[in-house]
Structure 1
Amino acid sequence: MTATNYERAYQRERAARQEAERLLTEKTRALYDNVVLLEETLKELKRSQTQLIQAEKMSSVVQLAAGVAHEINNPVGFSMSNARLLSDYVKNIFLLDDFVLSQTNLPDTVLGPYHQKRKELNFDELRADTEDLLEDTWTGLDRVKTIVASLKQVTYEGGSISQVCDLNQCIHASLDSVSDKLNDKEVVTKFQQEIPTVYGDTASLTQIFVHLLTNAAQACVDKGKIQVSTHSFDHQGIKGVLTKVEDSGEGMTEKVIQKVFDPFFTTRPVGQGVGLGLSVTHNLVEKHSGFIEINSKPGIGSCFNVFIPVGNPPQSMPDS
């Protein structure tokens, strides 16, 4: 009788232990699932916070850029017009000098003082310097004009988001556009063939990838590798296309990543970049209700992720 009681007690204890282990396993699994969910939520909150901060920053910068572009555009316009007129005037003066020097029948009383004055003025040296100065002036004005055009792109809202666009085709067009910058790079493309079409502005979407490919090419020292891929992607229940542009370049620190979309921020040497390409890219992605992210580490390379939602056809478009 005692042995039977012990056996029953043992069975009850064993069943209780197994139930406790089962409950512990379930609780552990539930806790793990909650941790994963919290990590995803935290990641999404950080992404949203970054996008909000960038959007607020860009809103202020866009207003400033629009004002600066407008204020600079007018003086640059009349400066270029004046420089063009001045260049014509100077050419006429030099033509007049050539004409006088070619007149062998002029009396010495005229040619003598003229040659003397040319010598005093170092006219030949002055002529060469003037031509160089005018060329430098044109180069400088063209650069300012390019900067103004880039500033306008920062504030550019793009065309009507009403076209059916194939992102694969947009990327192919951008690859053709920057082919000269990719000659010494290994370019690998992995496109999903039956990719969802999106509603957008084809020119703006192509420009996005032109900027990203140019940035990737500049990031690669000497020869490098650039990979471009597209595939269907769901973001918070929203269907779209995720495009990745990866490079084997120098990579970026966290400090650089935080500033990389700021207008005029560049890690390139002075004179080799205005620092507006990625600002324009960020602006155009947002105009398409998408987002852009960066994964990068120094010495490893960078990956730009661009998500463009499928979107809805405009009301004015006929149903298919």
Structure 2
Amino acid sequence: MSGGVNYQRAYERERLARTEAECLLADKTRDLYDNVIVLEKTLEELKVSQKQLIQAAKMASIGQLAAGVAHEINNPVGFSMSNVQTLSEYLSHIFQLDQWMMTQAELPDGLKHQYEQQRQALAIDELKDDTQALIDETLGGLDRVRNIVSSLKQVTHAGGNTREQCDINCCVDDSLKVVWNEIKYKMEVTKHLLPELPSVQADGQSIQQILINMFINAAHACEDKGTLTVSTQTQVYKGVQGILIKVKDDGSGMSDEVKEKIFDPFYTTKKVGEGTGLGLSVTHNLVEKHGGHISVNSKLGVGTCFGIFLPITQA
């Protein structure tokens, strides 16, 4: 009898020990699983931070190059535009003299005849038209170069120094008015703007430039008729209260490879001569100067959505 009791007690102790071990194992497994989840999240955050650091280093190095190039280009562009404008004035005076010569009735017939022959041989009338067209095209080209230089400066310019309370919804409306002539035939615009949105301490002109770049980029992504959807809402990002602006299009979308490069200066998927590749890099720079964050979600053949987070107050 005592042997059976001892066996029963030994069995009960073993069962309790096994149960306790199983509970302990379950607790440790649960802790291990929780740690794995935390590690996976930390790893993902580290990957994001690594990409941001690489992007920041890339922007810094390319920005220095861009600043130097902009400075070197700006001077010759400036005096070239001045010289072409002066040349246009000189030619205008010459053609005025020609017009005066042709209207003088007191000139001897022989001299007037010789002048008309020389004038015809030099094709002065055609020269007038061609010269003005050439000057206009040259000034237009130089003005485009000047705009590119201006964009280059904005890649590295501190920008956004003048801060005031901005109504983001008003910035959206004003920016749409600016680009309306460019997008009205290509895009149907839908707005979902949160009423009574808190104001943001920001440089209003910079915010409008960010939005204008976004809207034009969306229009270019839609070959035919497309839809541009703009929304605003409040959001907390990394513990900071702010405003989230979403700019969405149903255009061609982007591959993962393209998404990795879209904020790089001079990177563009457009044909040569159709774009400088500075719009999104300038946008990225301006958002970061405001202490904000820009993200992109895109799928080929479906469309693209940019998210622009701006803190309500600057640190």
TM range, smaller chain: 0.7 to 0.9
Work out whether 1:121 is the aligned partner of 2:88: no
Contact residue 161 and residue 199 of structure 1 kept, 8 A? no
Contact residue 224 and residue 249 of structure 1 kept, 8 A? yes
| TM-superposition CA deviations, 1:163-212 (whole Å, max 9, x none) | 23333332232223222233141222223335444322222122211211
Following superposition, the deviation at residue 36 of structure 1 comes to 4.1
User: What residue is the counterpart of 1:99 in the other structure?
Assistant: 100
Following superposition, the deviation at residue 286 of structure 1 comes to 0.9
Following superposition, the deviation at residue 224 of structure 1 comes to 0.8
| TM-superposition CA deviations, 1:2-48 (whole Å, max 9, x none) | xx999999999998998788777766655554444344323322221
Contact residue 291 and residue 314 of structure 2 kept, 8 A? no
Determine the C-alpha separation between the residues in 2 that align with 1:305 and 1:9.
66
From 272, 276, 279, the counterpart of 2:278: 276
Contact residue 161 and residue 288 of structure 1 kept, 8 A? no
C-alpha distance 29-189 of structure 1, shift in aligned 2 (>3 A): farther
Work out whether 1:74 is the aligned partner of 2:64: no
Secondary structure of the 1:103 match is: coil
From 203, 206, 210, the counterpart of 2:205: 203
Following superposition, the deviation at residue 244 of structure 1 comes to 1.7
Q: Which amino acid aligns with 1:180?
A: N
Q: Which amino acid aligns with 2:229?
A: Q
User: What residue is the counterpart of 1:37 in the other structure?
Assistant: 38
Contact residue 160 and residue 289 of structure 2 kept, 8 A? no
Q: Which amino acid aligns with 2:62?
A: V
Determine the C-alpha separation between the residues in 2 that align with 1:126 and 1:311.
60
User: What residue is the counterpart of 1:298 in the other structure?
Assistant: 300
Work out whether 1:226 is the aligned partner of 2:239: no
Determine the C-alpha separation between the residues in 1 that align with 2:208 and 2:20.
60
Determine the C-alpha separation between the residues in 1 that align with 2:40 and 2:199.
31
Deviates more, 1:195-204 or 1:110-119: 195-204
User: What residue is the counterpart of 1:186 in the other structure?
Assistant: 188
Contact residue 249 and residue 300 of structure 1 kept, 8 A? yes
> How many residues are matched?
313
Deviates more, 1:146-155 or 1:227-236: 227-236
Q: Percent identity?
A: 55
Determine the C-alpha separation between the residues in 2 that align with 1:312 and 1:123.
63
Contact residue 282 and residue 292 of structure 1 kept, 8 A? yes
Report matched runs for 1:147-296 at 5 Å.
Answer: 147-160=148-161, 162-183=163-184, 184-296=186-298
Secondary structure of the 1:232 match is: strand
User: What residue is the counterpart of 1:60 in the other structure?
Assistant: 61
Following superposition, the deviation at residue 268 of structure 1 comes to 2.2
User: What residue is the counterpart of 1:308 in the other structure?
Assistant: 310
Contact residue 294 and residue 305 of structure 1 kept, 8 A? yes
Determine the C-alpha separation between the residues in 1 that align with 2:24 and 2:168.
50
| TM-superposition CA deviations, 1:216-236 (whole Å, max 9, x none) | 111112111122222232233
Q: Which amino acid aligns with 2:77?
A: V
Secondary structure of the 2:294 match is: strand
C-alpha distance 166-125 of structure 1, shift in aligned 2 (>3 A): closer
Determine the C-alpha separation between the residues in 1 that align with 2:267 and 2:197.
34
Following superposition, the deviation at residue 61 of structure 1 comes to 2.1
Q: Tell me the TM-score normalized by structure 2.
A: 0.85
Contact residue 163 and residue 199 of structure 1 kept, 8 A? yes
Following superposition, the deviation at residue 128 of structure 1 comes to 2.7
Which structure 1 residue ranges, 5 or more long, are not aligned?
A: 314-320
Determine the C-alpha separation between the residues in 2 that align with 1:118 and 1:257.
60
Which structure 2 residue ranges, 5 or more long, are not aligned?
A: none
Secondary structure of the 1:259 match is: coil
Determine the C-alpha separation between the residues in 1 that align with 2:157 and 2:138.
28
RMSD over equivalenced CA pairs, Å: 3.1
Following superposition, the deviation at residue 308 of structure 1 comes to 1.8
Q: Which amino acid aligns with 2:192?
A: K
C-alpha distance 190-246 of structure 1, shift in aligned 2 (>3 A): same
